């Protein structure tokens, strides 16, 4: 019996050898097939003529021993955070469109440390988190609207979810 996997880009069921190795992927393979990744790379090089030069300059700087800023992180944190927010007109939620943990909560990296986005949004608005847990009053784990977030103790949080 051969194990197959479905490519997340093209949606075709393919054998495992059609996927590149990846430590954290299912079956130790990436989620997209080699063909789709090659097409993505060709598209990236064709649409961004300065990409090759930027990568070459970064590599030269690395060889000289210079510390490199990750691409895109030179912008202010608030500006990067706001790029991933999308307002939901019906509920008033600010939905996170960036990366997510497996638990369904959004994640955001600041200075190499990964935060849950609802905790970051609460701290950014109120400048303090006085209790250890943040509860979504709207019930949406991807909501980052500070008005929909409430700092609670673990006991209060359990009581809230028990009454729902």
In order, the DSSP letters of 95-135 are: EE-S-B-TTS-BEEEETTEEEEHHHHHHHHHHS---SSEEE
Q: Please check whether residue 103 lies inside any domain of the structure.
A: yes
pTM comes to 0.56
Q: How far apart are CA 13 and CA 158, in angstroms?
A: 42
pLDDT, tens digit, 9 for 90 and up, residues 51-85: 888 888 888 888 888 766 655 556 788 888 998 99
22: containing domain: 4-63
69 or 151, greater pLDDT: 151
Decide if 34 is inside a domain: yes
For the segment 14-48, what is each residue's pLDDT rounded down to a tens digit?
998 899 988 877 778 888 899 999 998 888 888 88
DSSP-based three-state secondary structure for 77: helix
- The number of distinct structural domains making up the chain is 2
Mean of the per-residue pLDDT values of the chain? 87
SS3 call for 162: helix
Is the same domain home to 85 and 59? Answer: no
In a domain, 72, yes or no: no
User: What gap in Å lies between CA 83 and CA 99, rounded to an integer?
Assistant: 12
* Residues 36 and 84 occupy one common structural domain: no
Q: Is 94 helix (H, G, I), strand (E, B) or coil?
A: strand
């Amino acid at each position: 019996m051969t194990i197959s996997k479905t490519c997340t880009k093209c949606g075709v069921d393919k054998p495992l050898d059609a996927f590149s190795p990846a430590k954290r992927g299912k079956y130790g393979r990436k989620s997209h097939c080699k063909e789709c990744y090659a097409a993505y790379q060709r598209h990236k090089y064709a649409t961004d003529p300065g990409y090759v030069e930027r990568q070459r300059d970064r590599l030269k700087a690395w060889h000289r021993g210079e510390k490199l800023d990750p691409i895109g992180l030179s912008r202010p944190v608030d500006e990067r955070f706001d790029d991933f927010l999308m307002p939901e007109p019906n509920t008033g939620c600010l939905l996170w469109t960036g990366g997510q943990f497996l638990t369904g909560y959004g994640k955001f990296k600041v200075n190499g440390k990964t935060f849950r986005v609802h905790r970051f949004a609460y701290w950014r608005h109120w400048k303090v988190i006085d209790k250890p847990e943040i509860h979504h009053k709207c019930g949406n784990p991807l909501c980052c609207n500070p008005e929909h977030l409430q700092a609670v103790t673990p006991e209060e949080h359990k009581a809230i979810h028990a009454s729902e």
